[in-house]
Each structure stands twice: as structure tokens, then as C-alpha cells.
Chain A
């Protein structure tokens, strides 16, 4: 892990970046912001961990808890809202057994997150399953998709 952290630190120093860029790199490297990683960075840069924490909790992109292997993103933009995104989320949370008030299932297999708007409103409601955008989603289609996902039948491509 130290190795990976050093890489990130080098990138940061070379590119006169800032704390947000470091956090973005940490998030993409580990999937969430690990406390030990933040502590390490804090020591190296002589920046108090509270500043990292302040930024991490301000922006929606950062997560302080581990996230699931599969990430299902539900768009909650206006168009998706009026076309029934709430119902999709209710069924996702139930189907994937996400505990109340949490985003991730206990076995760390699934994370269901809500985002403000992914800007694909013309195909609302939109659900993104592991980076693949699915438009005009219906509860029926969604349940079928979740079934294939649970059985591990589908390999998801990464072009979005």
C-alpha cells in the first residue's frame, strides 16, 4: 500500500495539484478513503487530517466507508424523479438487502448510491450499473438486471 501512496504523492507534487486531487486519486485507488491512507498523507504533507476530513465530507464524490464490489447508481435528477426513480430505488434497496440508512450491503457485494443528475435525462429514468448506463428503466427490467448481476453472469464493459 505504501508504494501506491507514494505514487499518488509523486503525481501530486509534480502536478502542483491539491488536496482534492489527492483524495480523488485515493478514492479511485482504494475505492474509498481509507483512514490509514489519509493519516499517511497527512504526515507526509504536514497537513492536519481534519482538513482532509473537511473536504472529504463536503463533496459527494468521497466515501469514508468501504463500498460494494458492484456499484449501482440511481439518477435522481428532475426528469428521472418525475419518471419514477424513487420506485426504482425502493426496489433496489430491498432486492439487494441494503440496510436502512446505509448504501452498501453487509457482504460488501452491492452499493446503491443516489446521484443528483447524470445528464442523460432524455432516457430517464437512468440506472448505472458498474459504469454501464441503462436508460428508460422499469422495475421489471431492473430486477432482471439485478438477477444476472447476482448470479455473476454479466461482465460489464467500461466504456463510459
Chain B
């Protein structure tokens, strides 16, 4: 045995599941003299980024002389047995290895952006270089002109992964033609959609791919200065990005006269301060300039007049992370994946009521049902799929009977949703669609910057109507009012936030009008979510008096002696449903 390498998943999911402790236990175990003598010359532990299957964390790879075994659900106290049985004696611990469904999770995925995530050590540039990293930089700097670089990106069909899907090559082409020596390239890592963590995982798992993508973009458009605008809520990503920039500088991939080819490029990191609207280009620029992040009217577009009044290109993290791979493997390879108008792959954050939640990358044009049932493993707890929400607060819902819909920009637009940045939240039969619409309007209302009236007042009024519907105070004509107001807000708002804010309302009315009607006319929430339309009570004949419900009740609304039927005091009950979920005897009645 010569080489033993251990890779521990240390994305946010991995760390939350105890990745740091698992890693240090491995380090300690391997450092002990006895094992060193028994094993190998080359024994190393590495932290790696997100491997996607966060539901199974902590995931650990043990690679002995090139043979990889993957363990799931690893805790520190399991390390010793893995070391003694597998590493010292060469027999993997069968009980803890990943099962077949781990492979099914990966089978239908095609990894480009994520191909090195979970393989490279994000804190070590050498690890990225050893897998072909920065080869693309060398290729463009030594063999291609900026215009040729842009042509490759155009031919690959790569479109902006931030949501709108504007062709990246075309955008770069506009920038190279913009006059002046000072241009800026901004990487938008202000991933604000709730329910999305693609960009976070890419920056945490493979920050050098993003830096390399920026570098190639900077060469193509002639921008000497770059910024990464990243959310302060992502501390680990920020830390790894800073480290990666430092290492890239040391290796001569950033700074003056890069690779001796006369290219200058520096990257600065700017921390977002928590405003969703800063994902909008002009608001993001205002924020980098140190102002309130309020959008302005376009034109002039940022490519004409952007940061500090200079031509500026803003690309999303995932878009940029695709670039090095496209340059390395060629435009034809990339364009060979996906559909006619949506090329390549897309990363999605698959979350909600799904069994295998995590980060996935699939070819464009894959049917939604394959993602839900083959990769996602179906719905949690054997419940029924109700809808899939894509595009976050700017998107819409795809109902279960339309799960044949393919995932590409055009098809998603047709069903009234959007690709968005890649958040995919799975909803089951216990989710109320009116409540979901209300949730998103609460979000957009509080994130509206307040500059234009349709968005500032419109989202507030939409939310008020939705709130009264969920409180059982809905009026006749409310649905029509929502529809009219939504279309007004969409057509008259200044920026994308307001223009898309009513989408969740329109899409839920389109497919679930009956649920709205049940709330308004029958004062009933069919999914049993809206508190004001619900009450909980205890069925005495089933209650064993086990006191489980009294312990979980956050309001202290349940009384009763041990081993005797309990009672819920309706005035105190906050209708949170904790008792309903805790009771093993089905003694709590919801209705």
C-alpha cells in the first residue's frame, strides 16, 4: 500500500453534520505512530467541497492506491473502525458504505461546473492545477486572441445562469466593443433567492474555477479590474475565496503581466450587506460604489455605463465557472449537451419535501420528473408531489400533473415559471399554495427597495390581500383583484424585482384557483396550513396521556395529567402543529 487519501466533505452541509470533527479524528488516528508504520508512505487527509448529496453527510472518501470507497453518515466515533479495518487491514466497513441509491442519485447527472467540486481541495491551488486547472488560462493567453475567445463562448451557447439567460458570448462581445481602457468585470455571487445555494457551493467547493472564469473573461473583454460581490451571509465561501485569490496571486495567475503575456488583472472582494435587490445589475453597482443599492433605469446599460461610469460586465458565479471547462474541452462539446436553445448543464439546489435533497447538475432539457423521482428519490415520507417551485420569488410553480415539463429556459417560461438561478423547492400535499404565494410576497415586499411606486406599494397591497385570504377574511372578487394588480405591478415596475414579484401569485392562481376559492368562499384551507382556518383538538379515546405533546407545545397550551387524556386550551394554542406531528397515537385532530 502506497497511497492513502481521505476526503471529507466540508461544505456547509458537511460542517453542520460534524465534518470538522470527523476530519480531525482521522488526522489524529492517522498521525499515531502505529498506524503510520502499518500503512503507507503517503497518507493524507483533505477537505473537499460539496459533493451534492448533503442529505447523507458527513460523506467520506477513502482512496487506497486509486480505489475509492465512499462512506455516508459518518460520525467521529466511527472513524476508528474505518481506520483499523479499512485503512490498516484493507477491508472496507461494508455497513457504512454508500448504498445503491447513492449511485442512482449520481447516474442521471452530468457534471461540468461541479465536476471538480468534492474532488479538489478548495483551499489548495495545487489540487485544482493537478486536475487541469488554469490550463484554459494558458490556452487562451498563448494561442487565442480575445475575439477568438469570445467566439468560442458564443459557439458554446452558454447563457447567463443568474436567471435571465442572456447569451454570455454576446454580452462579452458588447463589452469588447465598448470604448476606453478601463473596464470592469464583476462576478455576481449575491445569491439572494431563498432556497438556492448553487453559487455558495461552487465558491466553497471550487473557488479557482470562478477565478479562472473571471480571468478568461477579463482577457476577452479587456478588463483590468474585477470584483466579486458576495453575500456576507456566506462566511465560509468568503474565506475560501480570499484564500484562493491570494494563492492565485502567488502563482502569478493574478496581478501584473500574467504568465508573462502582458495581461493585468486584479480581483477585489466586496461583501454584500444583505439586500436581495442587489442581485439586480445596476443596484449591485450602486452597492459596490458604497451607496444604497437601488436600481436605476436602463439604458444606459452597465456595458455602456457601469461601475464608476465605466463599461462593466456582470456575470453570475455559475456562468463564469463554466468558462474554463468550455475552453478546455471546446465549444462543440458543451453545445452537444442540452436542447437547441438551452445548451450545456444547469446546477439546481434540490430542496424541500424531497428525499435526496442536495446539489445536482443535469443537462438542460431533462424532464422534471426524472429529477424528482430518479435523482431526488421521490417525496419524503411517502407523500404525494404537489408542485415544484422554481426561480424563487421571481418564479412560479409547476404542478405535479405537468412533471413532463423539461428543464430549459423556454419550457419553463411556457408553464409560467422561470429557470431562475436554480432553486428548486419541492412541495407536497401538505403545502398550501396560497400560503406559498404569501410567503414570497412577504419576501419581495420587504426586499423592495422602495424607489418605484408600483413595486413598493403594489407588493404591499398584494400581500395584504393574500394575508386576508389566509386569515379567512377573503372577499368575493379578491382573486380577480390579485390578477389585475399583479399585471399592473409587472408592467410598470422599474427593475426585475418588481417585474417578477407577482409571478408566484399569478402562477398559483393559474394552477390552484380552487384552493384560493376554498379559502375565500368556504373559509377552509385544504392543505391544513393556514392557522386561522384550523383548530387542533385531542381525541380522548386515542390519547394515552404520554405527555409528549405537552413537552413540544411551545405555547404551553396543552394540559392534563400523566396517563389521562389531555386537552388543548384553544385560547392559548398558536396552532403550530407541533403536537400533531409528535403524537404517536394519532390522537390530535386537525380541522
Contacts and interface: CB of A to CB of B under 8 A. Distances in A.
Interface of A: 17-21, 23-24, 54-55, 58-62, 76-79, 81-84, 86-87, 90-91, 94-95, 115-124, 126, 131, 133-135, 139-140, 157, 159-160
20 contacts: A24-B271, A61-B274, A78-B194, A78-B389, A78-B392, A81-B194, A82-B425, A82-B431, A84-B577, A87-B576, A87-B578, A90-B574, A116-B192, A116-B447, A117-B194, A122-B13, A122-B197, A133-B15, A140-B551, A160-B15
Interface stretch (B33-41, B67-75, B345-353, B538-546): B345-353
Contacts of A135: 13, 16-17
A40 B57 CA distance: 48
A122 B112 CA distance: 21
Interface in B262-293: 271, 273-276, 287-293
A140 to B, nearest CB: 6
B439 interface: yes
B235 A160 contact: yes
B178 interface: no
Given A78-B423, A117-B196, A60 B555 contact: no
B234 interface: yes
B62 interface: no
Contacts of A79: 194-195, 351-352, 357, 425
A123 to B, nearest CB: 5
Contacts of A61: 232, 273-274
Given A94-B555, A122-B357, 8 more contacts: A79-B425, A86-B576, A116-B443, A117-B233, A121-B357, A123-B16, A124-B352, A133-B15
A3 to B, nearest CB: 24
Nearest to B552: A139
A121 B275 contact: no
A122 B349 contact: yes
A103 to B, nearest CB: 14
A124 B351 contact: yes
B13 A20 contact: no
Interface in B413-466: 423, 425, 427, 431, 436, 439-440, 443, 447, 449
Nearest to A58: B292
B20 interface: yes
Q: Which of A95, A115, A119, A159 has the most CB of B within 10 A?
A: A119
B275 A60 contact: yes
Contacts of B193: 117
Nearest to A56: B273
Nearest to B556: A94
Given A78-B195, A82-B431, A119 B274 contact: no
B284 to A, nearest CB: 12
Given A82-B427, A122-B13, A116 B276 contact: yes
B13 A120 contact: yes
Given A24-B232, A82-B431, A119 B290 contact: no
Interface string B531-559: 00000000000000000000110110000
Q: Which of A18, A122, A139, A160 has the most CB of B within 10 A?
A: A122
B194 A76 contact: yes
B577 A160 contact: no
A122 B578 contact: no
Contacts of A90: 554-555, 574, 576
B228 interface: no
Contact of A123 (B13, B195, B273): B13
Interface residues of B, number: 63
A123 B350 CA distance: 11
Nearest to A87: B576
B378 interface: no
Nearest to B531: A86
B343 interface: no
B425 A160 contact: no
B124 interface: no
Nearest to A118: B233
A131 B234 CA distance: 11
A87 B554 contact: yes
Contacts of B15: 133, 159-160
Contacts of A55: 290-292
B515 to A, nearest CB: 15
A78 B194 CA distance: 5
Q: Which of A24, A59, A61, A121 has the most CB of B within 10 A?
A: A121
B423 A120 contact: no
A139 B273 contact: no
B273 A24 contact: yes
B270 to A, nearest CB: 8
A84 B380 CA distance: 15
A95 B287 CA distance: 37
Q: Which of A54, A83, A87, A90 has the most CB of B within 10 A?
A: A87
A77 B436 CA distance: 12
A76 B195 CA distance: 9
A115 B154 CA distance: 38
A124 B196 CA distance: 12
Interface in B310-355: 349-353
A135 B234 CA distance: 16
Nearest to A55: B292
B368 interface: no
A147 to B, nearest CB: 13
B293 A59 contact: yes
A61 B350 CA distance: 27
B359 interface: yes
Nearest to B430: A82
B200 interface: yes
A118 B231 CA distance: 9
A120 B12 CA distance: 7
A20 B229 CA distance: 13
Contact of B195 (A20, A87, A117): A117
B352 A78 contact: yes
Contacts of B20: 157, 159
